[in-house]
């Protein structure tokens, strides 16, 4: 026989007063009673807190990711500027310091040899029309030049980078961003 102290320390009695082997009362449901079950899940407040945290993280992350997307798009334009700079250096080596400076990107006597009709300077985000020409080229022994790429066309994707507006590349290999006026 179980004493009252044992019952209190072991567990609860069921409606019929019996204990199961683990010391817990047998759960018997009688007609008219609701059996309470433990509910598993999240409360509305917990879900709202999670949505709030995700919203804050998104508000912080989207501008950062946008900048990374623009940098990735500009890497194509910078690569093309580097190809043009290499062509200018090759032109300078072929024609010497007394030769005429290059005047065009295209093929010709004073051209750099890019076949613009077949899209040598066309890419996913930039087209040959985005390269505004050879801003300045001097054929002296130091060879100085400045070339520019604008983000106007959006290339074959139609989505140009949003910032900066343009980049220039000089003979020292420095890319300089140009902000919107």
**Could you tell me the residue ranges of all domains in the chain?**
1-36, 70-178
Task: Give the model confidence (pLDDT) of 101-125 as tens digits.
Answer: 998 899 888 899 999 888 899 989 9
Task: Give the model confidence (pLDDT) of 87-105 as tens digits.
Answer: 999 999 999 988 899 988 9
pLDDT of residue 14: 52
Q: What is the mean pLDDT of the chain?
A: 82
pLDDT of residue 140: 86
Assess contact for 105 and 115: CB atoms under 8 A: no
Assess contact for 103 and 111: CB atoms under 8 A: yes
User: Cα torsion for 159, 164, 165, 166, to the nearest 10°?
Assistant: -100
pLDDT of residue 32: 52
**17 pLDDT band (50/70/90 cuts)?**
low
Q: 20-34, 133-147, 148-162, 165-179 — which is least confidently predicted?
A: 20-34
Task: Give the model confidence (pLDDT) of 36-69 as tens digits.
Answer: 566 688 899 999 999 999 999 999 998 888 888 8
Q: Phi and psi for 141 in degrees, rounded to 5?
A: -60, -25
pLDDT of residue 60: 92
Token pair for 29: 């449901």
**84 pLDDT band (50/70/90 cuts)?**
very high
Token pair for 83: 């190809």
């Amino acid at each position: 026989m179980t004493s009252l102290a044992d019952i209190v320390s072991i567990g609860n009695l069921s409606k019929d007063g019996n204990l199961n082997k683990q010391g817990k009362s047998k759960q018997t449901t009688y007609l008219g009673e609701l059996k309470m079950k433990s509910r598993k899940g999240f409360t509305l407040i917990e879900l709202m807190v999670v949505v709030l945290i995700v919203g804050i993280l998104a508000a912080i992350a989207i501008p950062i990711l946008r900048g990374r997307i623009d940098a990735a798009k500009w890497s194509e334009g910078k690569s093309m500027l580097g190809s043009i700079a290499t062509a200018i250096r090759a032109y300078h080596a072929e024609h010497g310091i007394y030769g005429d400076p290059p005047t065009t990107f295209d093929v010709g006597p004073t051209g750099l040899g890019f076949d613009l009709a077949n899209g040598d300077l066309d890419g996913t985000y930039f087209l040959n029309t985005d390269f505004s020409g050879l801003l300045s080229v001097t054929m002296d022994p130091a060879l100085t030049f400045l070339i520019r790429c604008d983000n106007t066309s959006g290339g074959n994707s139609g989505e140009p980078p949003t910032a900066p507006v343009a980049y220039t590349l000089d003979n020292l290999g420095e890319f300089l961003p140009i902000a919107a006026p």
